[in-house]
Amino acid sequence: MRDMLADVRALVECESPSDDLVAVARSAEVVAELGTGILGVAPERIDGIHLRWRLGADPSRVLLLGHHDTVWPIGTLADLPYSIDGGILRGPGCFDMKTGLVMAFHAAAGLDGVTLLVTGDEEIGSLTSRELIEQEARGASAALVLEASADGGALKCERKGTSIYEVRIVGRAAHAGLEPERGVNATVELAHQVLAVSALADGATTVTPTVAHAGTTTNTVPAEATFAVDVRAGTPAEQDRVDRAMRALRPVLPGAVLEVTGGPNRPPLDASASASLYARACRIAADGGRPVPGRAAVGGASDGNFTAGVGTPTLDGLGAVGGGAHAADEHVVIAEIPPRTALLRTLVSQLVGQP
């Protein structure tokens, strides 16, 4: 246990915000060194920030998938340092998902027929790693994702698909005091469009306007505005419905122009993709005298959406038990790390046919 906690600390104390390529590349070096020490083989480094280990001489049958980038900016450690208190481990990225990486390394050590892929851009949409993930998944009989668990240690058996859009509004500038009537107010058009986009939500499908920008100075009719839209949908049909509606948006103000970019980013992870693997994990837990993990459907997406999307059986949420992802109270329950790692190792061993 002491070694695993030291490994987690090494990863947590190397800050790796996704949008800082220098920091993520530095983190990749730390992850590579740590993984090489545990697995006994060095990884292939791809695009500077992604790492791939091929374990053993046998053809790969199981894909272990994780990421080392986080949402936390450089300097977060000064306010939220790595710490252990009362059986709880804290630190930026410990739950999402650096503890999961350590678990994957220890679970896979000595096994054949396993590919371990650790990417560096998951938190910003996996723009450079998606093709790599899908390629590896197509060649595997199962994908096991080391994202953190759902509440109470539940495995993530369903995930909504995600779509990401940006709506750009072009108006016309004018002096706000002398002749505002000569302008086309992009902020007002933005307000109309935000309400129209919000109305696209339906039942379990969420459509959420998020970051918005408009205008330049307080005495100028804004000539341009933008806002981002986050969509979560449980089925491809719902993703398509929202996509068609987003592209059908039309301006309300005369003279305003709309431009909609983006679209579906991750397909849904359907329950059918995880059913057989979840059942196997439950049997392993029961046979070992451990509590059977629960199952959860979550709105958040992961790279497991991609593996399921190409038809590979996928089980997600096999990583750390804790909470507070992306929040100041991010934490991991230390006592859950060994049994969770043992469950993962047995699951991988069975899948590759190695006792």
Q: Which sequence positions are flagged as catalytic?
A: 69, 122
> Is 16 within 8 Å of 96 (Cβ atoms)?
no
Task: Give residues with Cβ within 8 angstroms of 8, minimum separation 6.
Answer: 89, 94, 98, 99, 102, 332
Query: Residue 257 corresponds to which tokens in the numbers above?
Result: 């122009």
Distance CA 83, CA 236 (A): 42
Going by the DSSP 8-state scheme, the letter that residue 90 receives in this structure is E
Task: Report CA-CA distances (Å) from 23 to 125, 205, 248, 294, 296.
Answer: 18, 35, 40, 36, 33
The tally of CA atoms less than 13 A away on the side-chain side of residue 258 is: 22
* 340 backbone φψ class: left, alpha, beta (φ>0; ψ -120 to 50): alpha
Q: Residue 103's closest CA among 169, 152, 34, 168?
A: 34
Q: Residue 4's closest CA among 322, 354, 328, 336?
A: 336
Task: Give residues with Cβ within 8 angstroms of 84, minimum separation 6.
Answer: 5, 90, 334
Distance CA 100, CA 94 (A): 8
- Token pair 């837990």: residue: 285
* 43 backbone φψ class: left, alpha, beta (φ>0; ψ -120 to 50): beta
Q: Residue 235's closest CA among 163, 135, 288?
A: 163
Query: Residue 261 corresponds to which tokens in the numbers above?
Result: 């970019």
